[in-house]
């Protein structure tokens, strides 16, 4: 802004017609004012001399879901940990209660899923501690049904919820500069997506298309 004003003043001193000089100064000032509007409120921002200044660009600011505090990240990770506990319990119980020859193969896969979810829980708990938080001890509710397909659908729904939330978590970690944590979650995410494929295949369904997160 100072450079622009200096440029206008220099042209005036050089002998430019005074009316043209005034017009140029006004135009420059209006142009600066247009760019000085606060990106969120549209209000003009003035510096301590009363001159228009360029408002900070909001970019991916506080209004964005991936710009959060470390405290909030800990809370979100504890929600993820509660979902991992839920998955461990569900896979353990479902794998032992699925009945019928057609479900034997997927029951065996669910046993393997249970072990992988335990590793995920350990990873998330470790990262919560690293961030200065305390890992939760409470799992999310595990639904039950006497019907095998219903239990598999519960798992598929839960995996979808987990995947959407971990995708969001990766962005949030990177927004805070926690790139190593983001990579840990990416690896968990890869395994969760494999679980989703296994479950959809067992149910003879297409893998669900997941949209934006709605935290549950």
- Is residue 137 classed exposed, middle or buried when 0-12, 13-18 and 19+ CB atoms within 10 A define those classes? exposed
CA-CA distance, 103 to 99, in Å (whole number)?
7
β-bridge partners, 52:
46
The pLDDT value recorded for residue 123 is 98
* Distances 5 to 2, 11, 96, 115 between C-alpha atoms, Å: 5, 10, 77, 67
User: Is-contact 167 64, C-beta < 8 A?
Assistant: no
The answer to whether the predicted template modeling score (pTM) of the entire model surpasses 0.85 is no
CA dist 21 and 164 (Å) reads 58
| CA–CA dist 35, 215 (Å, integer) | 37
Residue-level pLDDT at 211? 73
pLDDT, tens digit, for every residue of 7-64? 444 444 444 455 554 455 444 444 444 444 443 334 444 443 344 333 333 334 434 4
| pLDDT tens, residue by residue, 181-211 | 999 999 999 999 999 999 999 999 999 988 7
Which pLDDT score, from 0 to 100, does residue 66 have?
55
Q: Where in the chain is the domain with CATH 1.20.1260.10?
A: 70-202
| Structure tokens, 138 | 């409470």
Name the CATH architecture for the domain at 70-202.
Up-down Bundle (1.20)
Question: How many of the other CB atoms lie within 10 Å of CB of 150?
Answer: 12
Separation CA 79–CA 75 (nearest Å): 6
Average pLDDT estimate for 144-161: 97
Q: Compute φ and ψ for 137, nearest 5 degrees.
A: -115, 5
């Amino acid at each position: 802004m100072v450079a622009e004003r200096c440029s206008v003043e220099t042209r005036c001193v050089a002998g430019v017609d005074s009316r043209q000089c005034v017009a140029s100064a006004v135009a420059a000032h209006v142009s600066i004012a247009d760019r000085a509007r606060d990106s969120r409120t549209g209000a003009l921002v003035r510096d301590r001399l009363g001159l228009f200044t360029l408002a900070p660009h909001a970019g991916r600011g506080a209004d964005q879901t991936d710009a959060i505090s470390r405290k909030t990240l800990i809370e979100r990770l504890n929600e993820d940990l509660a979902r991992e506990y839920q998955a461990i319990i569900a896979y353990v119980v479902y794998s032992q209660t699925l009945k019928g020859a057609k479900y034997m193969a997927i029951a065996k896969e669910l046993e393997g899923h249970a072990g992988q979810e335990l590793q995920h829980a350990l990873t998330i708990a470790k990262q919560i501690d690293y961030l200065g938080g305390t890992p939760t001890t409470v799992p999310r509710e595990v639904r039950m049904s006497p019907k095998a397909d219903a239990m598999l659908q519960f798992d598929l729904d839960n995996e979808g919820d987990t995947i959407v939330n971990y995708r969001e978590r990766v962005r949030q970690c990177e927004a805070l500069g926690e790139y190593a944590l983001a990579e840990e979650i990416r690896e968990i995410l890869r395994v969760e997506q494999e679980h989703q494929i296994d479950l959809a295949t067992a149910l003879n369904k297409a893998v669900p298309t997941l949209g934006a997160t709605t935290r549950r």
